[in-house]
Amino acid sequence: MSASHEALTLARAWAAADPDEATRAELEATIAAAEADDDAATIELADAFRGRLQFGTAGLRGRLGPGPNRMNSVVVQQASAGLARFLVEREAHPSVVIGWDGRRGSAQFAREAAEVFAGAGVRAILLPRLLPTPVTAFAVRHLGVSAGVMVTASHNPPQDNGYKVYLGGADEGSQIVPPVDGEIAARIEEAAQTPVADYPRGSVEVAGEGVVDAYVAATAAIGQPDQGLAGATGPRVVYTPMHGVGLETVRAVLAAAGFPAVIPVPEQAEPDGAFPTVAFPNPEEPGALDLAMALATAEGAELILANDPDADRLAVAVPDDAAPAGWRMLTGNEVGLLLGWDAARAAGGRGVLAASIVSSPGLGAIAAAHGLEFVQTLTGFKWVSRVPGLVYGYEEALGYLVNPGTVRDKDGISALVRILTLASELQERGSSLTEELLALAGEFGAFESGQVSVRVTDLARIPATMAALRQTPPTELAGAAVLAADDLSLPEHGEIGDILRFTLDDGSRVMVRPSGTEPKVKVYIDATSADGPPAARIRRARERVAAIAEAVRPLLQ
């Protein structure tokens, strides 16, 4: 296989102008290998130079490496120059706060972005050190700036990084959404016509610890125990930040809220962009909590809490003698409904509960019982956080917003505080999160959920799978007839997105969509039961989820 003339030409030009010695050397080595007809190098060049890494509603996210279709110094500076142009056109004296996590390249990218912003006439404020994503989201509102940038790829594989954008002002620190993402992307294309070496640079401010202290205080305030439970010690907790940046902030918040210290998983306690103990740094992935479960058993812990590497998501595991390791990780929907019921009881009949369309319909039942409005949004937390009147919102992928007055994005630390508060109150009453799930099923019926995911190496498989299901939808799944097969991308369904929804005659629901952040096709399965006592309801609903999952798998091959 010979490298194309166009790819080699683009690669040589990039190498000549790349200001980063490391990526320049990497690219020069790849060019030399491609010139020697190395197939792997040829494929790499073709992919790295086949276009520009797309800037969308998640900002940028992609693999580290040289080239316009990768995350690197040049792409980050171009994105910053384009975002700066957008902000300068939008207001007279724009400002931006920049945060970063512990991934490879994050600190460098944050500094370079800040210098480009400052050179373009945008006041640039760097956070004082690597910190969780929710602190950056908080800082946008707390500092009253025009925008925020967080350099992170959240729970993506180690070779990835990203550039996440928030807007201040009327957007209240929410993530960008259309049409703004397109407007910023156009400015980035314009900025990319100028070599990054010619971008002016400016002086950068560094925020004091006050912004972190303010986040800690605001987050701790939602975790104060009920007056009647003051002094309760709460459950013994093992915690893992998954090689990310959560531990220091979690410790500070829990201390301020009066909770005992958590027991960290030592192998995963410090930031490490290589994520050496996990295949994927995502608490949802099989095996990701194995070290935490082993430590929790050894320490006699009663609860496991985990954040993903940038601490905007939360995972919860509870003791379960029937589980292989003696622990069961709660699903995102189980945690979402527990926190939703908690929020609904505190709302006093005012406000809105919201969840993404692929999350459990159980939140709607909770909202109705408490006289609250329920809103289903498009997938992605950028939509959940923007719901007017929101008092609580979640998405099944472990994202929860329990304090929308403080942060307008999913926040794994505030969710941790709230779930720990709930667990402590339940323990004081002789109950537990497991018992609370039974109570929830008794009150509203059991709402159980599951997922089937297929990770692909050939990205063409994803649209091919979706096209096949559109052309020939199933008529029956696990003994239940498919009453409706809805393509939610069509105008009659509100153009919600690339989602297929199958409604079954037993009340179950199946939704299929491409992942927005990973090379996966994801299937979301929801089943419900209101027959018998709570434990029987849960069992029946889980059995239906499992049966439907088995029926769905062949459709994805």
Structure tokens at 176: 């960008």
- Neighbour-count burial of 524, counting CB atoms closer than 10 A to its CB (0-12 exposed, 13-18 middle, 19+ buried): buried
One-letter amino acid at 126 equals L
Q: Say yes or no: domain 58-208 is CATH 3.40.120.10.
A: yes
217 pLDDT higher than 90: yes
How far CA 127 is from CA of 135, 165, 204, 414, 480, in Å, comes to: 9, 15, 11, 19, 54
Average pLDDT of span 370-386 = 95
The structural domains of the chain, with segments of one domain joined by +, span: 1-50, 58-208, 215-442, 445-556
The number of helices, as runs of H, and strands, as runs of E, in the chain is 17, 22
Least trusted range by pLDDT, from 101-115, 176-190, 238-252, 492-506: 492-506
Model pLDDT for residues 228-246, shown as the tens digit of each residue? 444 457 899 999 999 999 9
Provide the edge-to-edge strand list for the sheet that holds 373-377. Answer: 373-377, 352-356, 390-395, 399-401
Average pLDDT of span 296-311 = 98
How far apart are the C-alpha atoms of 278 and 67, rounded to whole Å?
28
pLDDT category at 496 given cuts 50, 70, 90 is: confident
CB 380 within 8 A of CB 295: no
pLDDT category at 2 given cuts 50, 70, 90 is: low
The pLDDT value recorded for residue 56 is 79
Average pLDDT of span 58-86 = 96
Structure tokens at 502: 């199958």
CA dihedral 84, 90, 96, 101 (to 10 degrees): -70
Name the CATH architecture for the domain at 445-556: 2-Layer Sandwich (3.30)
Provide the edge-to-edge strand list for the sheet that holds 314-319. Answer: 263-264, 237-240, 303-307, 314-319, 327-329
How far apart are the C-alpha atoms of 12 and 16, rounded to whole Å?
6
How far apart are the C-alpha atoms of 115 and 302, rounded to whole Å?
47
How far apart are the C-alpha atoms of 312 and 204, rounded to whole Å?
26
Residues 6+ apart with CB under 8 A from 15: 24, 27, 28, 31, 66
Instruction: Taking each helix axis as running N to C, give the angle between helix 21-35 and helix 5-17, from 0 to 180 degrees, rounded to the nearest 10.
Output: 160
The pLDDT value recorded for residue 517 is 67
Would you name the residues annotated as active-site residues? 154
The two beta strands, 60-63 and 237-240, are: unpaired
Distance, C-alpha 306 to centroid of its chain: 13
Average pLDDT of span 139-165 = 97
pLDDT category at 473 given cuts 50, 70, 90 is: very high
How far apart are the C-alpha atoms of 362 and 340, rounded to whole Å?
9
Largest CA distance in the chain: 74
Distance, C-alpha 192 to centroid of its chain: 28
CB 151 within 8 A of CB 163: yes
Average pLDDT of span 506-526 = 90
Provide the edge-to-edge strand list for the sheet that holds 476-477. Answer: 446-455, 520-529, 509-514, 500-504, 480-487, 476-477
Name the CATH architecture for the domain at 215-442: 3-Layer(aba) Sandwich (3.40)
Least trusted range by pLDDT, from 43-57, 162-176, 420-434: 43-57
Structure tokens at 259: 């909770």
Whether the upstream peptide bond of residue 179 has omega within 30° of 0, thus cis, is yes
How far apart are the C-alpha atoms of 298 and 301, rounded to whole Å?
8
The pLDDT value recorded for residue 428 is 93
CA angle 130, 132, 138 (to 5 degrees): 110
Model pLDDT for residues 416-469, shown as the tens digit of each residue? 999 999 999 999 999 999 999 999 999 999 999 999 988 888 888 899 999 999
The pLDDT value recorded for residue 227 is 45
Backbone region of residue 511 per phi and psi (left: phi > 0; alpha: psi in -120 to 50; beta: other values)? beta
**Residue whose tokens read 């089937």:** 452
How far apart are the C-alpha atoms of 489 and 357, rounded to whole Å?
13
How far apart are the C-alpha atoms of 402 and 339, rounded to whole Å?
8
Closest CA to 205 of 131, 249, 143, 134: 143
Mean pLDDT of the chain: 94
Percent of the chain topping pLDDT 90: 90
Total length of the chain: 557
DSSP letter for 325, please. T
220 pLDDT higher than 80: yes
How far apart are the C-alpha atoms of 498 and 487, rounded to whole Å?
8
Average pLDDT of span 50-55 = 92
9 pLDDT higher than 90: yes
How far CA 164 is from CA of 62, 101, 167, in Å, comes to: 12, 12, 10
Structure tokens at 423: 């667990």
How far CA 552 is from CA of 481, 482, 502, 523, in Å, comes to: 13, 12, 11, 8
**Residue whose tokens read 């508060």:** 421
CB 168 within 8 A of CB 147: yes
516 pLDDT higher than 80: no
Least trusted range by pLDDT, from 186-190, 297-301, 391-395, 488-492: 488-492
Backbone region of residue 52 per phi and psi (left: phi > 0; alpha: psi in -120 to 50; beta: other values)? beta
Structure tokens at 162: 């990203």
The pLDDT value recorded for residue 230 is 46
CB 487 within 8 A of CB 493: yes
In this chain, the answer to whether the domains covering 58-208 and 215-442 adopt an identical fold is yes
pLDDT category at 224 given cuts 50, 70, 90 is: low
pTM: 0.94
